[in-house]
Amino acid sequence: MNKYQKGHYGSRDDRKPHTEDDNRRLQVRTGVLVGIFAAILLAFAAVLYQTQIVHGKDYLDRAFTSVQQVETVESVRGELLDRYGRVLVSNAVSYHVTLDTSLMGEGRNETLSRLLELCREQGVEWTDSLPVSAGAPWRYTKTDSLFCYQYEDDEGVTQTAATNLGELAEDCGWVEDARRADLTAQELLSAMADTFGLEREGQALTQADRQLLGVLYELYLRRYEVVNTQYTFARDVDIAFISRVKEQGLTGVVIETDTARQYHTDVAPHVLGTTGAITAENWPTYQELGYPMDAVVGRDGVELAFEEYLHGASGRRAVETDDSGKIVTQEWLEEPEPGDNVVLTLDASLQAVTEDYLADFIQGLDDPAGGAAVVMDMTGGVLAMASYPDFDLATYGQDYSQLVSDEAHPLLNRATRGLYAPGSTFKMVSAVAGLASGVITATDQVECTGYYSYYGTTQRCWIAPGRHGLENVTQAITDSCNVFFYDTAGKMGIATLRDYARQFGLGEYTGIELPEEKGQMAGPEAAEEAGYTWYGGEVLSAAIGQSLSLFTPIQLANYVVTLVNGGSHYRAHLLKEVKSSDYSRVVYDYQPELLHSIDIAPGDLKAVLQGMYDLSKTASMARYFDGLPVEVGCKTGTAEVGAGRTATATFTCFAPYDDPEVVIYLVAENGSSGGGLAQVAAGILAQYFSGGDSQSAPARENTLIR
């Protein structure tokens, strides 16, 4: 039996029906596949027909009218916090208007005029830095230059375009007459109007023309921006204005979301500072750092000081828009990185109390003027810094014109830039200088008769015609005896006194992150700068904080810190630490920077500080300090400022006496006697040592507990 026999593999007849079934199945499958392919081809043909035939013209028009550009997208600015984590400044969503003239075409001027009309109707302010008055008669508001910048030409060569009012660069494209040195503001505006194609009746320029020229000028400044053709026209606009812009359908006028600074406190405006657009003068610096021209940066305060941490990194986005400005496609080339969060050494609660007490005291004076207060820890960290009068950061933009013209100078940070004679608060320097140089000892006594004769001149003690009698250094500090320090200064001379003042940081920069004045210590150099001859007898006035000595409150506070901590002179600072944008890690942790040390013998230091302690126990001071939970050391000062003028009051203190934690330095212009400031200091110390609230950080939404 072979393999085809029945019962093994089956017969040949048995296999035939199976072969026919397979063929039929194959034919069915082939038909199905052919049908699927046919359907796909038909669908593809239909899509091609719709694209090429039905909508071909639309797509062709879109291809020719679409605009591709790379936009720079600003990062979200980091937050500012106090030492206990309270948010002082954060960000809020806002809306701003940008202009893209590449979409406006020949109707640019008409579009901008309609936009400006809407702004006038809605009371919206826009960016305009053209240095010509807003209304006739036209005059320059700035006479050095309109703008100066550098750029690379098509061959990669760096060129400078300096639009000086007398020598406008050829590249500016304005008329030849615009390069005349005697160009008037009227002539400049007329030249710009001709160049920018303004349609006007006759030759007279209206205020509306001037406003349009201001916007065209802003656009002109951006002509060399290769990747940033947008112009931020107005910031933080409201919904009503946005609705009106949308109704008008102005091509190239784009409403975008942005973030603006939101203030959670009304304290420390001079410290926190402001933000704003990059100025023409600062543009070259920010350009090198890769900032877009319309970036918002820190203008002053810690906003400027810590710009590198707060700003983050801008992103870049490729955007394709159609002829109406509608975005067709967009792609991130580089996503923006939010800025880091800066934690300051400030205590917001202590800052508020310091400002309130200082303001109340100054406002209660017969002739209120200005003043400052600085509260520091033992390593130069600023716990509070107040300057009076101050301003409101939330309304700074609206109030700027009034603030800048105010004769009280509310924008001046008197704590770092105000220069004051220290008066008797300087006497601890004279004491340490005399003790350390060996011209006096802690037990030496000088008899105060109320007067002191030196090189044929006679100086009075403040108590004259009374007398202090025999005084050692401790008693002289308590009683503020001028005669004792006259005698000490006469023995050591100005060179020694100046040297110790310098070691205490007086007449030297403190290193604080804010702009500060250097000040000066009295002496031959200061006299020469003032244009007169220094005489040896002037060392007597210098020893009691008068003569030509002028220091800032931050310097004076840091000097007292150096004294009470035993001679360690630290750099003053506002930075505590920097945290990442999500608060997940510490980016930078500030470590106190010791600048140098002063060698003060323990016995000498005790003698000086004992005098400050004893002063706090006198009847005039005890009424303020006896109610505190800690012992205090203090010193008053009265700085004469000239005949017929009320003296400047100065005051300093530290606590606790046995283990100092905090130093306060206060200044009040027209304050007469420094003793009155003791009530301010006592209030600040009461807040500092109250605990509880002062050191608790409020919970914040949408953040992890850390």
CA–CA separation, 207 and 189 (whole Å): 11
pLDDT-derived band of residue 153, with 50, 70 and 90 as boundaries?
A: low
Taking the C-alpha atoms of 253, 259, 265 and 271 in order, what is their torsion angle to the nearest 10 degrees? -90
pLDDT at 164 over 80: no
Position 52 in a domain:
no
Mean pLDDT for 277-290 is 86
pLDDT at 59 over 70: no
**Residue 357 near residue 344 (C-beta atoms within 8 A):** no
Question: Of 21-30, 276-285, 300-309, 450-459, which one has max mean pLDDT?
Answer: 300-309
Number of structural domains (the chain) is 3
pLDDT at 165 over 50: no
pLDDT at 299 over 90: yes
pLDDT-derived band of residue 515, with 50, 70 and 90 as boundaries?
A: very high
Packing angle of the helix pair 239-248, 108-122 (nearest 10 deg): 150
105 vs 473, residue with greater confidence: 473
* Domain end marker among 304, 325, 344: 344
Instruction: Answer yes or no: do 514 and 598 share one domain.
Output: yes
Amino acid 155: pLDDT: 64
Position 356 in a domain:
yes
Tell me the backbone φ, ψ of residue 365, rounded to 5 degrees.
Answer: -75, 160
pLDDT at 11 over 70: no
pLDDT-derived band of residue 65, with 50, 70 and 90 as boundaries?
A: low
Model confidence over 577-603: pLDDT tens digits?
999 999 999 999 999 999 999 999 999
**Residue 334 near residue 92 (C-beta atoms within 8 A):** no
Instruction: Answer yes or no: do 330 and 425 share one domain.
Output: no
Instruction: Answer yes or no: do 358 and 337 share one domain.
Output: no
CA–CA separation, 98 and 231 (whole Å): 5
Which residues pair with residue 471 across a beta bridge? 446
CA–CA separation, 464 and 453 (whole Å): 14
Position 61 in a domain:
no
Position 3 in a domain:
no
Instruction: Answer yes or no: do 18 and 97 share one domain.
Output: no
**Residue 139 near residue 132 (C-beta atoms within 8 A):** yes
CATH number of the domain enclosing 157: 3.90.1310.10
Token digits of residue 652: 């300093």
| Structural domain for 387, as ranges | 348-392+409-695
Which residues touch 102 (CB under 8 Å, ≥6 apart)? 67, 69, 229, 252
Q: What is the mean pLDDT of the chain?
A: 85
Position 57 in a domain:
no
Token digits of residue 634: 């203090």
DSSP string, 512-577: -SS-----B--SHHHHHHHTS---GGGHHHHHTT-TT-BB-HHHHHHHHHHHHTTSEEEPPB-EEE
CA–CA separation, 305 and 227 (whole Å): 28
Which residues touch 289 (CB under 8 Å, ≥6 apart)? none
Instruction: Answer yes or no: do 419 and 509 share one domain.
Output: yes
pLDDT at 568 over 60: yes
Instruction: Answer yes or no: do 36 and 101 share one domain.
Output: no
Instruction: Answer yes or no: do 589 and 500 share one domain.
Output: yes
pLDDT at 64 over 60: no
Position 700 in a domain:
no
Position 58 in a domain:
no
Mean pLDDT for 464-470 is 94
Packing angle of the helix pair 602-616, 553-564 (nearest 10 deg): 120
Amino acid 168: pLDDT: 35
CATH number of the domain enclosing 626: 3.40.710.10
Percent of the chain with pLDDT over 90: 54
**Residue 452 near residue 487 (C-beta atoms within 8 A):** yes
Model confidence over 109-135: pLDDT tens digits?
999 999 999 999 988 888 887 888 888
Between CA 307 and CA 312, with CA 311 as vertex, the angle to 5 degrees is 130
Cis? peptide before 389, omega within 30° of 0: yes
Model confidence over 393-402: pLDDT tens digits?
999 988 988 9
Amino acid 19: pLDDT: 67
pLDDT at 561 over 80: yes
Instruction: Answer yes or no: do 533 and 570 share one domain.
Output: yes
Token digits of residue 357: 């007490």
Amino acid 184: pLDDT: 77
Mean pLDDT for 199-210 is 80
pLDDT-derived band of residue 432, with 50, 70 and 90 as boundaries?
A: very high
pLDDT-derived band of residue 273, with 50, 70 and 90 as boundaries?
A: very high
Using alpha carbons, list the distances in angstroms from residue 589 to 11, 244, 306, 706: 93, 49, 14, 16
Other CB atoms within a 10 A radius of the CB of residue 116 amount to 19
CA–CA separation, 456 and 537 (whole Å): 9
Instruction: Answer yes or no: do 438 and 331 share one domain.
Output: no
Percent of the chain with pLDDT over 70: 83
Mean pLDDT for 630-657 is 90
pLDDT at 475 over 60: yes
Amino acid 657: pLDDT: 97
Amino acid 306: pLDDT: 98
pLDDT-derived band of residue 186, with 50, 70 and 90 as boundaries?
A: confident
Residue 456 CB-density burial (10 A; 0-12 exposed, 13-18 middle, 19+ buried): exposed
Mean pLDDT for 334-349 is 94
pLDDT at 331 over 70: yes
Amino acid 509: pLDDT: 98
pLDDT-derived band of residue 8, with 50, 70 and 90 as boundaries?
A: very low
Mean pLDDT for 27-54 is 79
Token digits of residue 260: 């603006």
pLDDT-derived band of residue 325, with 50, 70 and 90 as boundaries?
A: low
633 vs 318, residue with greater confidence: 633
Amino acid 323: pLDDT: 58
Q: Report the range of poorest mean pLDDT among 177-181, 356-360, 434-438, 583-587.
A: 177-181
Instruction: Answer yes or no: do 459 and 582 share one domain.
Output: yes
Model confidence over 86-101: pLDDT tens digits?
999 999 888 888 887 7
699 vs 422, residue with greater confidence: 422
Amino acid 56: pLDDT: 64
CA–CA separation, 52 and 57 (whole Å): 8
Position 639 in a domain:
yes
DSSP string, 192-237: HHHHTT---SSSPPPHHHHHHHHHHHHHHHTTT-SS---EEEESS-
**Residue 375 near residue 553 (C-beta atoms within 8 A):** no
Instruction: Answer yes or no: do 255 and 368 share one domain.
Output: no
Amino acid 317: pLDDT: 77
CA–CA separation, 324 and 61 (whole Å): 12
pLDDT at 670 over 70: yes
CA–CA separation, 621 and 610 (whole Å): 15
pLDDT-derived band of residue 180, with 50, 70 and 90 as boundaries?
A: very low
Amino acid 655: pLDDT: 97
Instruction: Answer yes or no: do 255 and 271 share one domain.
Output: yes
